[in-house]
Structure 1
Amino acid sequence: MARLYILGAGTPTPTPTRFGSAYVLEIEGEKIMFDCGPATTHKLVQSGLWPLDIDYIFFTHHHFDHDIDYPCFLLTRFDQSIGKENQLQVFGPTLTEKITEGVIGENGIFSHDWKARIYHPLSQKVYMNRGGVMPRRAPKIAARDVGVGTVHTAKNWEVTSANAEHVQPYLDSLAYRIETKSGKSVVFTGDTQPCQSIIDLAKGADVLISMCWDDQECMDADGESPGQCGTTGAARMAEEAGVKKLILVHMGAHIASHGPLEKGIGDIREAFSGQVIFSEELMAIDV
């Protein structure tokens, strides 16, 4: 069984219902996070999940709307631990290791927090009351910068990556494909313009989770098409890849509003023959 949780389905611009990017894919009980944008930790709990359930994070790139809640997630996961959780494994393009060490390493910007929780008697008592056994250990995160190819192989799934075309050379960007042992395939584009590398990565996938910044005609008119997918850009990429289901995320306030949304659905239906879902935050979708 595979289930997708949409935690963040918005952009860098906060709206009452959308902000940033974050997703959890549950496979045979394992919960794998992709990106960790604004308020991810809170939205994770709102979805009925828990930080200690997450043993893997894959970052598509390091714009703040995809990683700003990473410090909160790391500190919450450590704070709530009793020393028996699995080691968190984190993968992403260049900067993933640097950011992780900079947040929670021995001299990281939040090292004062976890050191106080390790050494202060009150924090030690809370830890032991929760079921922890002294001495409490410092957080250890296995973070790794990765590129194109096979990223990680687990018992029930494997993740491969391809380049996404977004804001190079300022940030490296990756898209990911996760294949389950049961034969399901899910692709996360991250932020990208339509490109052959993602079409190749997504060939025949069950689900493509693609950014949809706005109505394509609006994007073409205002010059915001380069580096991003809009409605028909995402649809044509999905159709060429032959995916079964297209889930649109990273949606701005305009395309998420009635009128543009209905137009977008019509435009996409003309270009893509599979199932289309315009996502909402806190949705859970069976894959």
Structure 2
Amino acid sequence: MAEIYTLGAGTPTPTPTRFGSSHVLKLGDQLLMFDCGPATTHKLVKAGLFPTQVDYLFFTHHHFDHDIDYPCFLLCRWDQSIGKENQLQVFGPDLTEKITEGILGENGLFAHDWKARVNHPLSQQVFVNRGGTLPRPAPSVAAQDVGPGRVFSGSDWEVTAAPAEHVQPWLDSLAYRVDSAEGSVIFTGDTQPCDSVTELARGADMMLCMCWDDQAVMDANGEYTGQCGTTGAARMAQAAGVKKLVLVHVGPHLSGHGPMEQGIGDISRIYDGEIVFSEELMHISL
């Protein structure tokens, strides 16, 4: 059974129950992570998963609420490994390679950490006690800048990307579709309603779509460009014919009771599929 774990269901605004974006798709024994926002590594463990189990990471874009925990995840996954794990493969729009090298490269911002752990006898002993064999290897991550089209094919699944309209030209943004024997799921990242994401999502079993706020509020305060609100998400899901709409990247106002129930009602008048209002650490069967 395929399952989606919602690790981060919020926005750049920290709240006691939501902060940033990250999701994991579990296909059999394979874990595919989409974005790596605030505290993702900790939330991953709270969800009953572990960093060394994640072999694939896909970034929708490089706003901090989608990638700020990347250094923590990279270092934790490497530190907890014993040299027998699969190499982590990372995909994302422009800057993915640069950021990865800037974190873990020979002269990266965290090179002091991994070099100390590779060379100090205490760290070497901890590595051996975990089951590793010296010499302890330096981190090795396969990071790749990607664009629209087929991104990667696994044993029985495939990831395809399409442009998502968010904050271009300052940052590139992608939405992803995963097709597998278990079904199809869309990770929109941050986007306004647009034809490219609608076409990517055509006929999918599930779409995780950002839902910043009540659409009327966004229209009134000028925050309607570059992102989906309630009825924007509903119209895109309905046009794509997706079977289940999971609302993620939910802002503090819409997260409160009252606006939440009104938002779900507004969406249900446009979209006739199943609606899930996500909470952090929720996992949903595909």
> TM-score normalised by the shorter chain: which range applies?
over 0.9
Residues 28 and 156, structure 1, Cα contact 8 Å, conserved in 2: no
Q: Which residue of structure 2 aligns with residue 24 of structure 1? A: 24
Q: Which residue of structure 2 aligns with residue 225 of structure 1? A: 224
Residues 205 and 243, structure 2, Cα contact 8 Å, conserved in 1: yes
Task: Trace 1:1-287 onto structure 2 (pairs within 5 A).
Answer: 1-180=1-180, 182-287=181-286
* 1:84-105: CA deviation from partner (whole Å, max 9, x where unpaired): 0100000000000000000011
- Three-state SS of the structure 2 residue aligned to 1:254 is helix
Residues 2 and 182, structure 2, Cα contact 8 Å, conserved in 1: no
The structure 1 segments of at least 4 consecutive aligned residues displaced by more than 3 Å after TM superposition are: none
Gaps of 5+ in 1: none
1:29 CA drift (Å): 1.2
Tell me the TM-score normalized by structure 2.
0.99
1:183 CA drift (Å): 5.0
- Three-state SS of the structure 1 residue aligned to 2:253 is coil
Structure 1 distance, partners of 2:249, 2:276, is: 13
Structure 1 distance, partners of 2:182, 2:55, is: 22
Tell me the TM-score normalized by structure 1.
0.99
Structure 2 distance, partners of 1:172, 1:148, is: 11
Gaps of 5+ in 2: none
Q: Which amino acid letter does the alignment assign opposite residue 283 of structure 2?
A: A
Structure 2 distance, partners of 1:141, 1:147, is: 19
Residues 37 and 65, structure 1, Cα contact 8 Å, conserved in 2: yes
Structure 1 distance, partners of 2:195, 2:8, is: 26
1:156 CA drift (Å): 1.5
* 1:39-63: CA deviation from partner (whole Å, max 9, x where unpaired): 0000000000000000000000000
Q: What percentage of residue pairs aligned between the two structures are identical?
A: 69
